[in-house]
Structure 1
Amino acid sequence: MEPLTADDPEDIGGHRLLARLGAGGMGVVHLARMPGGALVALKTIRAEHAVDPAFRTRFRREVTAVRGLTGRWLVPVVAADTEAREPWLATEFVPGPSLVEAVDGFGALPVTAVRTLGSRLADALSAVHDAGLVHRDVKPGNVLLALDGPRLIDFGIAYAAGATALTAPDAVVGTPGFLAPEQAQAAGEVGPASDVFSLGCVMAYAASGRRPFGTGYAAGVLFRTVHEEPDLADVPDELRDLIGACLAKDPTERPTAQEVAAALRDPRISLAREIAEAQREHWLPPAILRVVAERSARALDVPTPRRPTRQPADDDPAADPAADPGFTHPQDARPPSRRRVLLMGSAAASVLAVGGGATAYLTAGRGGQGGALPVHTLGFQADLSGANKANGVAQERGARLAVEQHNARAGITFRLALETVDDRGDATWAKQAAQRLTGAGVSAVLGPNTASAALAAGPLYLAADTGMVLISVDDARLDDARLRTLCVTRAPERYVALPLLSYLTEVQPVDRTAVIDDRAAGPTGSDVTNQVEQNPPQEGTTSVHSVAAESDDFGPAVRAALAAKAQAVVFSGTSPERAARCARALTEAGFSGPRQGTWHIMQPAFLQQAGPAGQDWLFGTPFTDPGSVSRDFQAAHRAKYGTTPGRWSPEAYDAVGLVARALKSLGGSADVQPRSVSPRLFDVTYKGLAKTFHVSTNGVDPLKSGALYFLFQAKGNTFRFLGRYDQVK
């Protein structure tokens, strides 16, 4: 919300203006008070647009259509003047946030809330369709959240079924990502089924936090809407079939709005009882309810505006500002109290940019700057449904939290968005994911989280000059691929034995170390073996005892290590199950010295299968403990997801910060292209939550970075964080 300007009148049509909710090229939206005291959002159209007879006809038709609508979940038009020099339209003011603000700020809604949301929006659309109208712009920004339920707003592009369109024949009317294929193609009849498709998109977004046809350039989103299936991977199972039916490409195969409402509502409960129970039990999560309640309370205490100072024209010497009834003496111009600042929220989402056939948000930028901020979309590609799902989900959550916290900061000059694609850890899917994200024009891509996917997607990102920021993957084959736009932010895998050697030199010194060389680990295990063999702790000796890949018997190797009088044992393998066998063999042989491994075997399977033999094992890792970083990060993660952050989550948070820093160095304007971003990711030192690192074209530079490795120890049924390896005492 912004104060009135000197050009704003005191009232319009008897409505006292209180503040500005938004402004754009088509007009201004004010918060106003009706003569009876009720608050309204009053939209005024600029005179230069109103002189167009076609536009005036369109506006008159809109008002006539929506004034006849009734429905509990619709925002009614309470007053209008279609013949004024600057025509205006007043709707009931809803102080709650929009659905897009709630989901982007607090994450996907619970299933019960999505059911309530969907059934009531379907009821609203039923009323619209029964009146012979089609909304044509059902989207999260046009859904406001109130204490008793949602409200569908903004009928600026609604039209009567069968009416002649005033837009160009090939114009796309609506919002890409939330419109039906027939709208995206600007061909065929746009009818009630189109609104049902949009409702399906809204429900998918509310249930998963992701747009079913992605984000990015409008052309790419429209193409996916017409030709590709929606991404419903994160939509709960019990909603997926219904939402999928709403998103059928063929309009005749979609359910009606009434059928959607019936499918979502419990047939045993009457509508009146459902509304009463929702109000009593709170249909929204507590965090969103607090926002709704706060804004509802503040709406009751809107200030009476002081008129702004009007400066006399330089060429008007007779002007006397003190005689101007709109003049406020400087010492009387006090800023409103914090209590009296009504958060704009998404009341401005009801702002209509009429004309040209499209609806636009008219929002105020942060940091005191007017106008919408440019939005830069980051791609996120990972295995979100396969063997590495836990890793991928943890990283996505960390990245999404970073995006949201960036957008919440004061003084930012651009906003971020996150486009997520599940590559299932599969090379073919990884290529498709890369094609989708490069087609969307993302500024950079975070991930993938598997080496096979990175190898498959890397050349496509290279061809598009799009930076690929790896969070948890480091593989020698990626170096050989000469991927110029590849930015690896994690510590090199080949030095992962460094924290183990440091511990055996500084913390629990030993002279004789043995490596149980598990040949099943391939090159990764060989790197560990070579590091310990070439750099023995205390400049002592290292003996190597190999176990064939096809063998499960670690007894001979363990006995040979003890015969060599080993004081510490390092296991080079990557299998938790094989590590557990080694642990049991060491315990059975009576060995009680330091036993060590790498992060690959830090899995529940190791603790479960090793049992007491796995206790006190030490592990060197390239990731920190998510519970040891910023308390604010932990609290925000728990508030958003209900859990503590997972492994690699802080590193993903930092990857977003690195890309944001690159965008900021380029000015952050809407003109910044992906090919400009990738070079800015290199040769910089970045201090993140997890660690401080310096990224060069060859990956993280250990010489210019801080300590990049950490130590954990098996204790009980978990892995206890010991700290950064160089700080463990």
Structure 2
Amino acid sequence: MQALRAEDPEELGGHRLLARLGAGGMGVVYLARTADGTPVALKVIRAEYAADPGFRARFRREVRLATGLGGRWVVAVTAADTEARAPWLATAFVPGPSLAEAVDGLGPLPPESVTVLGARLALALGELHAVDLVHRDVKPGNILLVPDGPRLIDFGIAKGAGATALTAPDAVVGTPGYLSPEQARTRGGEVGPASDLFSLGCVLAYAATGRRPFGTGDAPVVLYRTVHEPPDRTGLSQLPAPLRSVIDGCLAKEPALRPTAAEVRSALTHDDHRDEGPAPATDWLPPAVLRLVAERSARALDPPPRTAGPIVPESPNTLTAQGFSRRRLLTIGSSAAAVLAASGAGAAVLLTRGHPAAGGAGHDVPTHTLALHADLTGSQRTLGKAQQRGALFAVAAHNARNDVNYRLALSSYDDGGDAARAREIARRVLAAPSVSAVIGPSTTVGARAAAPLYAAASIPVVLVSVDDATAGLSTTSLRTLCVTRASDSSQTLSILSYLTRNRPTHRTAVVQDRAAGETAADINRNLVATPPSGGTVTTHQVAADTSDFGPAVAHALATHPQAVVFAGTSPRRAAACARALVAARFTGAVAGFEPVMRGDFLSAAGQAAEGWVFEAPYTEAQSAGTTAAKAFTAAYRARYGEAPGRWSAEAYDAVGLIGRALDGLGTTTAIEPAQVAEGLFRLSYDGVAKPIRFDQGTTHTMDPANTAFLYQARGGTFRFLGRYDQVRAVKTQ
């Protein structure tokens, strides 16, 4: 929502204008109030378009069709003037987000929500079809989500079964990816109600999985898949049988094989007839979507004051001392398409169909698709879903800006943590010509299998949580591999800083657990080569076939160390070391590394764990004290209702890094992924989590300085201390 400008009228057709909801190339949508105070969305068409007889005819038809519809799940036209120099129409104001905004920004809806969505949309389509109308553009952007149910909007291209389309003879009427095979084949010719059911199947599949059944990319490619290839059914097998059966039936290539709207409604409401009446506010939508509705409803009651001149857009990546500005916090994740959609039936017509506008820029802009490759259902799904949320949030934040020159889209791919599936996913991503970059894979197994395939195709692949060396990968040979986490080889930097700056240590003992192999040996070598405070380091090894750390600890303490570093990866073996240190009455500093930061260490060590300090390559944004982290956390909580998960902030930064590379390539749509990769390594990017800078030599590895974090075991948990270079004081035992 934006303030009215000096050139905007104060009143139109008895409606008082309050604010701008959005603007497109063909007009402006306002928030307005009727004489009795009822909020409406009022769409005004620019006079130059209204002068086109064909355009005015389409506008008259839209008003006529929408005015004649009385179903509960469609948005009604409340007033209009189709003959004015600048024609306009007013519709009921619907403050909810579009389905596209909700899924792109918050992830797929739960199956029970999709079931209700399908039943109520089927009811709406059934009412259309009963009066011999076919909507012809059923898509996520034309579906608004509010607490009592969805609303179907945009009847600008709906038409009767025998009517002549007001389009060019070879035009495709509808949105590629959601239109039916017969729409793609007939090029604007006659289609029947079954076409809307195919589109409904695409919508429900997208709502349930976050994936478009016929992929993304250039329109001709998507249209070809729609006509000739089976839909992508990834994730559908996990849905309840009635919902899965409805989606499969709707996606049949032949119209005669699809169910009718009444049959869909019956299949999805056989034991639930709530679509007939009001639903409670918490009945069908997830809490995060309900929060968006509440925020927009509140903003409608308090519109911004009129400005005296043009609005100055916010600068990109601006995070104020209070976090996001209030406007951005409440609208984060919105696109202009969603803002326009939220304003009612007529609003979405302002957009060029099949090419959504972005960020309130007021013109069509190119869309660049990012692929998230992660384990979303396997043993490391928590990590993968955290990265998915962070990336989705970053995409939504980019699209919410007023000054964007391109729109971002995110397609998520789940490899389940399996190497074979990771390779299959990589091949699918590479078959989608519109992907500009890949974020992930999120696991070592997935990265080892898929990263070489991406690099061979010159696709930039940004590893957020995987250490390339651990995965057996090389940024020297894989020229588009971009690793944005601190490597295991540099993990001693943060402990070295801690034992030099925070707990000045001149005598350090390393307890090297040989069960950890080369990892422990590397830690020991690094500390011996660069001792904390320029002092001395002694090494005390523990054989892999023993769990008795007492002798090694006794030898270590005989050197009178001020600090002990556990060089190992096993939480339980680290706990044995901790117990041995307490038994020997050691009171100095003790440090370890992230693989030990597990519940097993705390439970097995008990009180002996207290005070241990650990290095980790990820932040805890909600505990960080920086302005950027506070703003990120506040906005993340507002969107998801909980604190950011581990690696969420890093995934958010990965999108920002890629966006910065795209910024450097201008607004052209003809951007090759290899160009994006080249741009990545030339950047210096200060992210929410850490600064990201790369070596300009042949390795283009990330500069490890100031990129790792410290945690401390205290009170039965691991407490975040901060980025190692920003930690000022550490509580001792």
TM-score range, shorter chain: 0.7 to 0.9
> Matched residue of 2:661: which SS?
helix
Structure 1 pair 517/280, CA: closer, same or farther in 2 (3 Å)?
Answer: closer
Q: CA deviation at 1:496?
A: 0.8
Q: Is the 8 A contact 1:499 1:620 kept in 2?
A: yes
Asked if residue 227 in structure 1 is aligned to residue 226 in structure 2, the reply is no
Provide the rounded CA distance (Å) in 1 between the counterparts of 2:374 and 2:236: 13
Q: Is the 8 A contact 2:91 2:345 kept in 1?
A: no
Label 1:622 to 1:270 Cα distance change in 2 as closer, same or farther (>3 A).
Answer: closer
Distance in 2 (CA, whole Å) between partners of 1:236 and 1:627 is: 34
Does 1:350 find its partner at 2:343? no
Q: Any idea what SS the aligned residue of 1:711 has?
A: strand
What's the counterpart of residue 313 of structure 2? none
Change (3 A) 1:231 1:654: same
State how far apart, in whole Å, the 1-side matches of 2:648 and 2:284 are.
33
Query: Of the two structures, which has the highest relative contact order with CA contacts closer than 8 Å and spacing of 6 or more?
Result: 2
Distance 1:105 1:524 in 2: 39
Structure 2 partner of 1:678: 677
Q: Which amino acid aligns with 1:686?
A: Y
> Which residue of the partner structure matches residue 567 of structure 2?
572
Q: Partners in 1 of 2:33 and 2:574 — Cα distance?
A: 72
Structure 2: distance between partners of 1:184 and 1:717: 61
Q: What does residue 542 of structure 1 align with?
A: 538
Helix, strand or coil at the partner of 1:527: helix
C-alpha contact (below 8 Å) 1:108/1:206 kept by paired residues: yes
Provide the residue aligned with 1:632 in structure 2: 631
Q: Secondary structure at the match of 2:655?
A: helix
Letter in 1 for 2:144: L
Matched, 1:177 2:177: yes
Which of 474, 478, 483 is the equivalent residue of 1:483? 478
8 A Cα contact 2:511 2:540, kept in partner: yes
**Alignment counterpart, residue 371 of structure 2, candidates 376, 379, 399:** 379
Q: Which moved more, 1:162-171 or 1:138-147?
A: 162-171
More displaced stretch, 685-694 vs 42-51: 42-51
Counterpart in 1 of 2:118?
118
Inter-CA distance 124–695: structure 2 relative to 1 (3 Å threshold): same
Aligned to 1:143: 143
Which residue among 406, 410, 413 is the counterpart of 1:418? Answer: 410
Q: Give the aligned partner of residue 198 of structure 1.
A: 199
Work out the CA distance in 2 between the residues paired with 1:295 and 1:707: 40
1:446 is displaced (CA, Å) by 1.8
Residues 94, 344 of structure 2: 8 Å contact kept: no
Q: Does residue 50 of the first structure (1) align with residue 50 of the second (2)?
A: no
* Cross-structure match for 2:509: 513
Q: Kindly tell me: are residues 268 and 710 of structure 1, through their superposed partners in 2, closer, same or farther at Cα, counting changes over 3 Å?
A: closer
1:186-227 deviation line (CA, Å, top 9, x unaligned) = 699954344234334434444565545554433454466533
The TM-score, its normalising length taken from structure 2, stands at: 0.77
Say which one has the larger Rg: 1
**Cα deviation per residue 1:43-74 (whole Å; 9 max; x = unaligned)?**
6894675369xx96x88887776665441222
> 1:647 — aligned with what?
646
CA distance 1:509–1:345, change in 2 (3 Å) = same
What pairs up with 1:56-455 in 2 under 5 angstroms? 69-76=69-76, 90=89, 92-99=91-98, 100-104=100-104, 114-145=114-145, 148-161=148-161, 172-181=172-181, 183=183, 190-206=191-207, 211=212, 213-222=214-223, 226-232=229-235, 241=244, 244-245=247-248, 248-250=251-253, 254-265=258-269, 267=271, 274-275=277-278, 277=280, 285-294=289-298, 297=301, 346-347=342-343, 350-351=346-347, 359=353, 366=360, 370-438=362-430, 439-455=432-448
CA contact (8 A) 1:693 1:700 kept: no
Aligned length: 674
Shift of 1:349: 6.7
Distance 1:233 1:700, change over 3 A: farther
What's the counterpart of residue 616 of structure 1?
611
Alignment gaps of 5+ in structure 2: 311-338
Corresponding residue SS for 1:137: coil
In the other structure, the counterpart of 2:335 is: none
5+ residue gaps, structure 1: 309-342
Q: Distance in 1 between matches of 2:164 and 2:574?
A: 73
> 2-side partners of 1:194 and 1:579: how far apart?
63
Report if the CA contact (8 A) 1:400-1:418 is conserved.
Answer: yes
Paired AA for residue 574 in structure 1: T
Q: Which moved more, 1:564-573 or 1:486-495?
A: 564-573
Shift of 1:42: 6.2
Distance 1:699 1:716, change over 3 A: farther
Match of 1:530 in 2: 525
**Shift in alpha-carbon separation, 1:614–1:468, aligned structure 2, 3 A:** same
- Give the structure 2 partner of residue 332 of structure 1: none
Q: For the residues of structure 2 that align with 1:641 and 1:352, how far apart are their CA atoms?
A: 26
Shift of 1:728: 4.8
Q: Is the 8 A contact 1:108 1:208 kept in 2?
A: yes
- The match for 2:551 among 559, 564, 584 is 559
Write the distance in 2 (CA, Å) between the matches of 1:234 and 1:674.
33
Task: Tell me the secondary structure at the aligned position of residue 394 of structure 2.
Answer: helix
Which region of structure 1 is more displaced relative to structure 2, 646-655 or 607-616? 607-616
Provide the C-alpha distance between the structure 2 equivalents of 1:31 and 1:296, rounded to a whole number of angstroms.
Answer: 8
